[in-house]
Amino acid sequence: MEPEIIKKDELKIAGCVSYGGNIHELWQIFMKNEKNIKHVNQDAGYEIHIYPDLEMNSEKYHIMVGIEVDKFEDLPLETFAKIIPACTYAVFTHRLANGGYEGINKEMDKWLNESNYKLAFPMSIQYYDERFKGGNDPDSEIDFYLPITFK
């Protein structure tokens, strides 16, 4: 599978954070606070995984779930703010019918190993828009963003 290569400006994400915790539970906490987040600029969710030891297969990593905002004003106490720098991304679109959430990982790893790119930052981003119909719906689609730079 060949990803789409795109450039994105910096992203301002407001949401909830965990370190290696239960992702489903983190989404539940975020959804309780989402209505109190102001300055939202689109109706889509983000799940950001940041790997502190540069190894994307690490068992422990930072997780942030949230939404994109225009500015970090009046955030609820339970939420955190994160700026993701402008970057070039390899974007992989994945249907849950193709191996669930983990089904795309081997393809992304293979592509990174065989391409002229490497990770620009030790992270990955999942983007949830109207194509995501729920975690149990095999027709749900998610975009996976890998920040890349030339090797």
Taking the C-alpha atoms of residue 124 and residue 99, their distance in angstroms, rounded to an integer, is 18
147: left (phi over 0), alpha (psi -120 to 50) or beta: beta
For residue 20, what pLDDT is reported? 80
pLDDT averages per 10-residue partition of the chain, 151 residues: 94 94 92 94 92 68 95 93 97 87 86 96 95 91 96 94
Taking the C-alpha atoms of residue 116 and residue 56, their distance in angstroms, rounded to an integer, is 18
Range of the domain at 93: 4-150
Report the number of distinct structural domains present in the chain: 1
Taking the C-alpha atoms of residue 60 and residue 139, their distance in angstroms, rounded to an integer, is 29
List, for residues 45-71, the tens digit of each pLDDT value. Answer: 999 999 876 555 567 789 999 999 999
Q: What is the largest CA-CA distance in the chain?
A: 45
CATH code assigned at 94: 3.20.80.10
For residue 52, what pLDDT is reported? 78
**What's this model's pTM, rounded to 2 decimal places?**
0.91
